[in-house]
């Protein structure tokens, strides 16, 4: 298939890389290769967030809020946090 082209978005590429890293991890393959593939996926996701005006600090903050709300709704939020 010389000359064949495919178009892969950054998000699709990051997903494929992350799935590959997970397969490699559970197959107990080379740790350096796993780290390299996972880091490439992370870099693509960080680039996408930057393009959308988000940064890592904002992501950590939003993720934290999500988990607090989720745990509150499930009734699994630690009592010391629920009684503020």
Q: Comparing 10 with 63, which gets the higher pLDDT?
A: 10
Residue 3 corresponds to which tokens in the numbers above?
A: 């000359």
1 domain residue, yes or no: no
Same domain as 47, residue 17: yes
> What pLDDT score was predicted for residue 82?
62
Length of the chain: 84
Q: For residue 42, what are the CA distances in angstroms to 20, 39, 48?
A: 13, 5, 10
82 domain residue, yes or no: yes
Domain boundaries, position 63? 55-84
61 domain residue, yes or no: yes
Same domain as 41, residue 21: yes
Query: Residue with structure tokens 């940064």?
Result: 55
Cα separation, 68 vs 19, whole angstroms:
27
pLDDT > 90 fraction of the chain, expressed in percent and rounded = 45
Torsion angle of the four alpha carbons 25, 31, 61, 13, in this order, in degrees rounded to the nearest 10: -70
Beta-carbon count within 10 A of 63 CB: 10
Query: What is the rounded average pLDDT of the residues 2-15?
Result: 89
Per-range mean pLDDT, top range of 7-21, 46-60, 62-76: 7-21
Q: What is the pLDDT of residues 47-60, one digit of tens each?
A: 998 898 888 787 78
User: Is 41:14 a contact under the CB 8 Å cutoff?
Assistant: yes
Same domain as 72, residue 48: no
> What pLDDT score was predicted for residue 62?
80
Same domain as 65, residue 40: no
């Amino acid at each position: 298939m010389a000359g064949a082209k495919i178009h892969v978005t950054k998000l699709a590429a990051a997903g494929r890389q992350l799935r590959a890293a997970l397969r490699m991890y559970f197959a107990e393959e080379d740790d350096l290769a796993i780290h390299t593939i996972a880091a490439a996926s992370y870099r693509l996701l960080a680039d996408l967030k930057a393009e959308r005006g988000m940064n890592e600090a904002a992501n950590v903050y939003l993720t934290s809020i999500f988990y607090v709300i989720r745990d509150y709704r499930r009734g699994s939020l630690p009592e010391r946090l629920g009684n503020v």
